[in-house]
Amino acid sequence: MRVLVVGGGGREHALVWKLSQSSRVDKIFCAPGNAGISETAECLDINADDTDALLNFAKYEGIDLTVVGPEVPLTAGIVDAFKKENRRIFGPDKSGAQLEGSKVFAKDFMRTYGIPTAEYKTFTAYLHAEEYVRLKGAPLVIKADGLAAGKGVIVTESVEEAIDALKLIMREKAFGSAGDRVIVEQCLRGEEASFMVLTDGKTVLPLVTSQDHKTVFDNDKGPNTGGMGAYSPAPVITKGLEKDIMKSIIRPLIKGLKKEKIQYWGVIYAGLMICGGKPYVLEFNCRFGDPEAQPVLMRLKSDLFDALKAAADGRLNDVKLSWRKDTSVCVVLASKGYPGSYEKGKTINGLDSVKGRDNLMVFHAGTDMYNGGFVTSGGRVLGVTALGKDTRDAKTTAYEAIRKIHFEGMHYRKDIADKAIKR
């Protein structure tokens, strides 16, 4: 079987790595991929959002399964284009991808189908939003409606901060047209967790739980990023709570999609806040989380290709997933300045010293090749991911490996998985 993975980040490296372990996969292509991915798959000079070029490649190269990693091509309708040409592809169509592509759509959907989420109001006019903020008072969460690379959500602790966030999104257009509509949302207090499932619109297969670290600095300080690290499992999600999440969130969501005649074959990612033992949805994503995919896929024992192909074929009921009992921790190594501006082209040293270990994998996110060596090419550069008998063991292994890796300006959080260890 020939597989095409769309994307070029850490999540896509994890997908390529896991798919390459399948005895049924003969060849993997990745578009555009990155320097680390190129060691396993053939990288293509095709952008992830170039649907026409990707479709032509899949047709003429006889690709048996296309797996879409990032959200942008999904919200742009890559699945619709592939299915129109009868090409097998894993991911939701454009209508289903609205769950991530429009926060307003997702919030209204949750309200319609009784899925627990924070109280909110939507605005298209800055003055009306500002008036509501002054009336409501802080703390509040300000969200750009559209895609903003994980950075369009701003938690504010004062009215002044909330108004500054509104100005940033609506007046200064920091996220472009993604800020044409804004959600002003109640700020929920609790512990966050990520809950992902595979679905073909009928059958639902939960993946193991995980927890992301969104902010750039230790102790959850600083601006939001695409994710600075993750671990699996998330102890905050007990077996009882998992049943509650399936009953109160995932099942109503699947029923709602069916009622709205939205065909959804892919990943549903629920970003949750656990408040007083109850789950509330902060956001939905229409793809594997990044960096959550890295520790989750490290723990997967089953054949990923079989699962994704079955979902794309609408026969997920034929699949059962098995998991390692080990825990897993992923720590992201980022460029200085991320999530703001950063320099590229910094030489990465030490990667050879951490290769070839069963309990450790360094997933490349933003890397390129220069003069035969790896250099930085993105804000999030590497995801050092380790397995361990418990979370403390996995964390120790990951940070020991990090001490052997270096590039100029390398920044990473020192407290990934501490919440799990302290529980």
Q: Where are the domains of the chain?
A: 2-90, 125-180, 189-318, 327-422
* pLDDT computed for residue 296 by the predictor: 98
Give the single-character DSSP code of 419.
H
Partners of 217 in beta bridges: 221
Task: Determine contact, residues 158/229, Cβ cutoff 8 Å.
Answer: no
Partners of 369 in beta bridges: 374
3-state secondary structure of 353: helix
DSSP string of 320-344, one letter each residue: ---B-SSEEEEEEEE-TTTTS----
Task: Determine contact, residues 345/367, Cβ cutoff 8 Å.
Answer: no
CATH architecture of residue range(s) 125-180? 2-Layer Sandwich (3.30)
Give the single-character DSSP code of 389.
S
DSSP string of 206-257, one letter each residue: EPPPBEE--EEEGGGEEEE-S-SEEEES-TTS-HHHHHHHIIIIIHHHHHHH
* Spatial separation of the C-alpha atoms in residues 315 and 325, rounded to whole Å: 27
* Spatial separation of the C-alpha atoms in residues 251 and 257, rounded to whole Å: 10
* pLDDT computed for residue 157 by the predictor: 95
Of 348, 357, 266, 273, give the one whose Cα is nearest residue 70: 266
3-class SS shares of the chain: helix, strand, coil, % to 5: 35, 30, 35
Sheet strand arrangement including 266-275: 204-206, 191-199, 266-275, 278-285
In Å, the largest CA–CA distance within the chain is 60
Tell me the two tokens of residue 377. Answer: 């090419």
Give the single-character DSSP code of 86.
T
Angle at 290 between CA 305 and CA 1, to 5 degrees: 15
Tell me if domain 2-90 and domain 125-180 are identical in fold.
no
* pLDDT computed for residue 194 by the predictor: 94
pLDDT by residue, tens only, the chain of 423 residues:
999 999 999 999 999 999 999 999 999 999 999 999 999 999 999 999 999 999 999 999 999 999 999 999 999 999 999 999 999 999 999 999 999 999 999 999 999 999 999 999 999 999 999 999 999 999 999 999 999 877 789 999 999 999 999 999 999 999 999 999 999 999 999 999 999 999 999 999 999 999 999 999 999 999 889 999 999 999 999 999 999 999 999 999 999 999 999 989 999 999 999 999 999 999 999 999 999 999 999 999 999 999 999 999 999 999 999 999 999 999 999 999 999 999 999 999 999 999 989 999 999 999 999 999 999 999 999 999 999 999 999 999 999 999 999 999 999 999 999 999 987
CATH class of this structure's domain 327-422: alpha beta
CATH class of this structure's domain 2-90: alpha beta
* Spatial separation of the C-alpha atoms in residues 253 and 112, rounded to whole Å: 10
Task: Determine contact, residues 266/96, Cβ cutoff 8 Å.
Answer: yes
Burial call 265-285: b when 16+ CB within 10 Å, e when fewer:
bbbbbbbbbbeeeebbbbbbb
Which amino acid is located at 108 in the chain?
A: D
Q: What fold characterizes domain 189-318? A: D-amino Acid Aminotransferase; Chain A, domain 1 (3.30.470)
Which amino acid is located at 286 in the chain?
A: C
* pLDDT computed for residue 389 by the predictor: 97
Task: Determine contact, residues 265/311, Cβ cutoff 8 Å.
Answer: yes
* pLDDT computed for residue 135 by the predictor: 95
CB neighbourhood size of 86 (10 A): 7
Supply the Cα-derived Rg of the chain in whole angstroms: 20
* Spatial separation of the C-alpha atoms in residues 278 and 293, rounded to whole Å: 24
* Spatial separation of the C-alpha atoms in residues 226 and 228, rounded to whole Å: 7
Question: CB within 8 A of 136, min separation 6: which ones?
Answer: 184
